[in-house]
Amino acid sequence: MIPEIGHFALIIALGVALVQTILPLAGAVRGIPSWMAVARPAARAQFVFLFVAFACLTQAFAANDFSLLYVANNSHSAMPWYYRVTAVWGAHEGSLLLWAFTLSGWMVAVSFFSRNLPQEFVARVLGVMGFVSVGFLLFMLLTSNPFERLLPAAVEGRELNPLLQDFGLIVHPPMLYMGYVGFSVAFSFAIAALLGGKLDAAWARWSRPWTTVAWMFLTIGIALGSWWAYYELGWGGWWFWDPVENASFIPWLMGTALIHSLAVTEKRGGFKSWTVLLAILAFSLSLLGTFLVRSGVLTSVHAFATDPERGLFILLFLGVVVGISLALYAWRAPRVGLGGDFALVSREAMLLGNNVLLAVASASVLLGTLYPLIVDALGLGKISVGPPYFNSIFIPLMTPVIFLMGVGPVARWKQASVPELWTRLRWALMVSVVTALLLPVVMGKWSPLISLGLFMALWIISSSLKNLWDVAGRNGLSGLARGLAAIPRGYYGMLFAHLGVAAFALGVCISGGYSQEKELRMEPGQSVQMAGYNFRFDGVRDVTGPNYQAKEGVVQVSKNGKEIVVMRPQKRVHLVQRDPTTEADIEAGFLRHLYVALGEPVSGEAWSLRLYYKPFVQWIWMGTLLMFFGGLLAATDRRYRLATRRAPDYAAQTALAR
Amino acid sequence: MKARYLAPLGIFVLLVVLLWAGLYLNPREVPSPLIDKPAPEFTLPLLHDAGKQIARKDLLGQVTLLNVWASWCDACREEHPLLVELARSGQVPIYGLNYKDAREDALRWLNGLGNPYVASAFDEQGKVGIDYGVYGVPETYVIDREGVIRYKVIGPLTEDSLKNTVLPLIRKLQG
Amino acid sequence: MKSVLAVCLLLCAFSLWAAAPVPQDEKLEARYRALTSELRCLVCQNESIADSHADLAKDLRNQVRAMLEQGKTDQEIMNYLTARYGDFVRFRPPLKPATVALWFGPFVLMALGGGLLVAYMARRRMRVSNAPLSAGEREKLAALLHGAGDEGKG
């Protein structure tokens, strides 16, 4: 009964979405206020129905209703309740429902936090979002219904893939989708502006917080995925340039370009058509990612069960949404106007440079991801494009971006002078270069790549701190506290986000350059030394979990004779899906991780083990947390919160901004 | 001026065409670089008689099928009746490469399901498999008179692939 | 200059605590790790043979190790595997006519982007400086000029 309610709720939601798309958009064209007024209540109604559908599916999982095909394929009654419930989004159909539900959440947020926006604009925004929702709901109802019945019902489920029975599944997809889907708001704002024919700085100010929040979630979503892969897959890697990973990273790069471009459009009225294009592209790339993951066009460990028919539907939807948007862009963007002038050396120019580089990086990752497909489609054979390629090109592309990250905030708007920049930044530059050259020598191994990575991190840190000093320390040390307090929150947002990038770079560089690993066969009682630590293998014993049997290894770790920790890596075999999974044990410290994974039993009581020493690897994810925090600060800057209370006066605002 | 703004749309259209083509390809399939090259040299003990050996030269002089199989392989079970049928029809001699198997299990499997092979080579370590670029079981090679590999079937043979691709090729090679 | 050096040394001292010495005698191990992480596992397909649990991956790892111990060069080992499995087995696509666009594409894009950027900024300056004032702007300008004139008089 309940699944039928859920199914019915989806159908009603589709109807509401159609109404939400057609009436407000038509109303905006024909100037009919009553039609436009339908947008907000329709968005809220859609949220209610999608919530009902989502709740029904969740209930089916919680109650072990194996008469639902989706539940039977992805659950098992012996699974702990928290995995049964999060298995809702563990596979294709349910994750689509999560997508649609998340979209309705964003629509509701837009419907509430848009009091100061003109009705016509809101109608267009919600109308466009409604159209996207129509696409996803149709996709679900026509090809991927999570409420499809299995008759006769299965006695027991086929269990969720053991790799997914993990905390990572609880957090990674929701955060990731909040980001992916969140870019639809910026997208809708851009389309609404193009449809209305008016694109001004006020539009940028409205778009910015929404985009920043979406970006925040995408950042943390990707970071959670990377962290999950790190501890789950058992080989100590945290990024594989897998097509599905790239599918989330490409929109992230574009989204980062977008938030920087919006800054210029808001402050100086410039880059308008470029910002609109970025907004369209960021969400289009999210949709493209959805296609890549679900169509079977690329091989990936992460890909959902693939089906060309589903792929065709998504491709069609993608073609329509993005095609119409880009056509609209080609038609309307030329009229949009120029904005203020700026010199070749100025903050605008550097931000534009940053955008171009990020767009190029985005395109390059996309090129590498799709290249095997291109070669195959042209009949030129089969090739692989993997980490060696992406690492080779990504670092040269990112280096100028990071360099600009240091110079940009220091440069003046409109016109900056190179001598002034040199004066302000030469100390930071010299410290960065010298330390980057010396540090690796001190740490025991020098290579150009390590020095480059260190330079990038140190450059961001030193130039950011110097800039902070310049801004806050105008009255010397005595006035520093007051100076710091006077700085708007948005600036701190930038500071923390940039420092996050530096922390990330530091983590990547040091863990990449100085990690040590040993893969070897060990007898119980045998010890091995690595990186100053002593690892003693104490054998393997049997352990039983809620829905699995495991072999647990015991490894004593000590340093200089003092015991530090006992590590217990496991090899688990689950009840139904009997492929063994490796659960590594990680001793996670701020400055280093010790990582131990069980290999195979060798002979007698001996096992093969993998031991890793990874210095600074934690900084990779701490960096992303800092970025998240920076985004939060930027999105909650006073001017966005105050704007909701002030009475709207668009004409004045646009005149001022020009 | 206008044309510049159409560029994103233009590129997107190309992308959609590419992706659409991609829906009909199989990214997981690994084509063999050995097509139209001489079949790699090998010498292995026979499955049925550890004392005797079989080598590449034994396949020369006629068009042959070399079928990679194992008793632990489910998909091999699917294609086996087809192979038995094909062997009985006498159209082409079929040689087996028993890949990474246990002799007992392999013999028992053949006894139970029928033995279509003129002879089966016992590749316990899988080294010859690597030489032939085997990455999954079953796989089947069509080898011509001179010992050149002309075609590779990845995965189990089906009625369709036999009728439409493999048998016509064998007849062509037989002259 | 002294302060620069001081900061650098301080940072170095901090790092001593974090890093650890690297042993010298693992050239072969390092080559083994580097090679196996560049080779694709054909069964799992999105892991390298270094990381994959598949049987074939294990066999190929052993093959690589055996060849390393026989004194083969990295190139010879790569060629051996490519001869058997094709280019698909290499994660770093070899530079051939078919992959020229892949390897040079990003840098061509970067140059293109940079070129377009500079051209755009140059053209923009001309357009902005040559754009006539709108009616509203002309009124504002008149008001400002007259206001300044009045102040000057008074």
ipTM score: 0.87
pLDDT, tens digit, 9 for 90 and up, residues C94-134: 999 999 999 999 999 999 998 988 888 887 776 666 666 66
CA distances (Å), A495 to each of A409, A468, A473, A627, in order?
9, 8, 16, 9
**Cβ–Cβ < 8 Å for A616, A211:** no
Chain C residues within 8 A of A531 when measuring between CB atoms: 20-21
Q: What is the pLDDT of residues A144-159, one digit of tens each?
A: 999 999 988 888 888 8
Mutation target to probe the A interface, by most A beta carbons within 10 A, among B12, B24, B35 is B12
When mean pLDDT is compared over A395-399, A605-609, C120-124, the highest value belongs to A395-399
How confident is residue A401, by pLDDT bands cut at 50, 70 and 90?
Answer: very high
Q: CA–CA separation, A352 vs A540, rounded Å?
A: 58
pLDDT band at A293 (very low <50, low <70, confident <90, very high): confident
CA-nearest of B6, B118, B134 to B69 is: B134
Q: What residues of chain B have any CB closer than 8 angstroms to a CB in chain A?
A: 1-2, 5-6, 8-9, 12-13, 15-16, 18-25, 27-31
| pLDDT > 80? residue A578 | no
- What is the rounded distance in angstroms from the CA atom of residue A67 to the CA atom of residue A60? 9
Share of chain A above pLDDT 90, in %: 68
Q: Which of C43, C82, C87 sits opposite B135 (nearest CB)?
A: C43
> Considering chain C, what percentage of its residues have pLDDT values greater than 90?
28
Q: Touching C: which chains, 3+ CB pairs < 8 A?
A: A, B
Nearest residue on chain A to B30, judged by CA atoms? A382
C121 contacts in chain A (CB < 8 Å):
342, 344, 349, 352
Residues in Cβ contact with A649 at an 8 Å cutoff, skipping those fewer than 6 apart: none
Rounded CA separation B110/A206 (Å): 73
Q: CB-CB: which of B5, B23, B25 is closest to A330?
A: B5
CB A139 within 8 A of CB A313: yes
Q: Provide, rounded to the nearest whole percent, the portion of chain A with pLDDT above 70.
A: 96
To which residue do tokens 């390092």 refer? C30
Return the ∠ at Cα A533 (arms to A528 and A537), rounded to 5°: 40
Q: Do β-strands A562-567 and A548-559 pair in parallel, antiparallel, or remain unpaired? A: antiparallel
What span, in angstroms and rounded, lies between the C-alpha atoms of A182 and A176?
Answer: 10
Nearest residue of chain C to residue B27 (CA atoms):
C45
The model's pLDDT over C1-17, given as tens digits with 9 standing for 90+, comes to 555 555 655 555 554 44
Give Cβ neighbours of residue C146 (< 8 Å, ≥ 6 apart). none
Chains that touch A (3 or more CB pairs under 8 A): B, C
What integer pLDDT is reported at residue C121 of this predicted model? 80
Contacts B27 to A, Cβ<8 Å: 296-299, 372-373, 376
Angstrom distance (rounded) from CA A297 to CA A284: 18
Q: Is the pLDDT of residue C153 over 50?
A: no
Give the span between the Cα atoms of C116 and C112, in whole angstroms.
Answer: 6
Higher pLDDT, A600 or A217: A217
pLDDT of residue A643: 54
Residues of A with Cβ-Cβ distance to C11 under 8 angstroms: 435, 439, 458
CA distance B82 to B66: 14
Residues of chain A contacting residue B36, judged by C-beta atoms under 8 Å apart: none
pTM of the model: 0.89
pLDDT score of A542 more than 50:
yes
How confident is the model over A181-185, as a mean pLDDT? 96
**CB contacts, 8 Å: B130 with chain C:** 59-60, 63, 84
What per-residue confidence (pLDDT) applies to C131? 61
Contact flag B135-C60 (C-beta cutoff 8 Å) = no
pLDDT score recorded for residue A580: 80
Chain A positions touching C125 (Cβ under 8 A) are: 341
A623 vs B28 pLDDT, higher one: A623
Which pLDDT does position A165 carry in this prediction?
87
B12 touches chain C (CB under 8 A): no
CB contact under 8 A, C20 and A371: no
Do the Cβ atoms of C84 and B126 come within 8 Å? Answer: no
Please tell me if residue C60 touches chain B, with a CB cutoff of 8 Å. yes
Q: How confident is the prediction for chain A on average, in pLDDT?
A: 90
CB contact at 8 A, A426 and A481: no
| Rounded Cα distance, A268 and C121, in Å | 15
Place of tokens 């459009």: A265
Cross-strand pairs, C48: C40
Judged by DSSP in three states, A302 sits in: coil
Lowest mean pLDDT among A384-388, A435-439, A640-644: A640-644
User: Which comes out higher in pLDDT, residue A560 or A653?
Assistant: A560
Residue of A308, A370, A382 with shortest CB distance to B23:
A308
**Do residue A442 and residue C12 have CB atoms under 8 angstroms apart?**
yes
Q: Which two tokens stand for residue B164?
A: 């439409």
**Per-residue model confidence as pLDDT tens digits over A185-238:** 999 999 999 998 888 888 888 899 999 999 999 999 999 999 998 988 877 889
Contact A392 C19 (CB under 8 A): no
Q: Cβ contacts (< 8 Å) between A380 and chain C: which residues?
A: 98
Number of Cβ within 10 Å of residue A522's Cβ equals 24
Indicate the pLDDT class of residue C22, thresholds 50, 70 and 90.
very low
Q: Which residues pair with B152 in a beta bridge?
A: B141
Angle between helices A39-62 and A119-143 (to 10 degrees): 30
Residue A301 has pLDDT above 80, yes or no: no
Element (H, E) at B98: strand B94-99
State how far the Cα of A181 lies from the Cα of A99, in Å rounded to an integer.
7
State residue A486's pLDDT score. 87
The verdict on a CB contact (< 8 Å) between B19 and A295 is yes
CB-based contact A635:A213 (threshold 8 Å): yes
Residue A565 and residue B96: Cα distance in Å, rounded?
53
- pLDDT at residue number A236: 81
Q: Which helix (H) or strand (E) holds C151?
A: helix C135-153
A592-603/A516-522 β-pairing? unpaired
Under 8 Å CB pairs connecting chains A and B tally to: 72
Interface check C113 vs B, CB under 8 A: no
Residue range C47-84, pLDDT digits in tens: 888 888 788 888 998 899 889 888 889 999 999 999 99
Q: Which band of pLDDT confidence, cut at 50, 70 and 90, is reported for residue A338?
A: low
Q: With 60 as the cut, is the pLDDT of residue A644 above it?
A: no
Given a cut of 60, whether residue A302 has pLDDT beyond it is yes
> Cβ–Cβ of A377/B22 closer than 8 Å?
yes
Distance (Å) from the C-alpha of residue C26 to the closest C-alpha of chain A?
A: 10
Q: Please report which confidence band the pLDDT of residue C137 belongs to, taking 50, 70 and 90 as the band edges.
A: confident
Average pLDDT over residues A550-554: 93
| Mutation site, A277, A300, A322, interface B, largest B CB count within 10 A | A322
pLDDT at A478: 79
pLDDT score of A158: 87
Out of A291, A327, A382, whose CB is closest to B19?
Answer: A291
Mean of the pLDDT values across residues A484-495? 91
B100 touches chain C (CB under 8 A): yes
Q: What is the pLDDT of residues B28-83, one digit of tens each?
A: 888 889 999 999 999 999 999 889 999 999 989 999 999 999 999 989 999 999 99
Q: A248 is written with which tokens?
A: 């989330």
Kindly report, residue by residue over A583-592, the tens digit of the pLDDT.
889 999 999 9
Burial class (CB in 10 A: 0-12, 13-18, 19+), A448: exposed
Per-residue pLDDT, averaged over A35-42, amounts to 95
Q: Does A362 touch chain B (CB under 8 A)?
A: no
What token pair was written down for A118? 């003109």
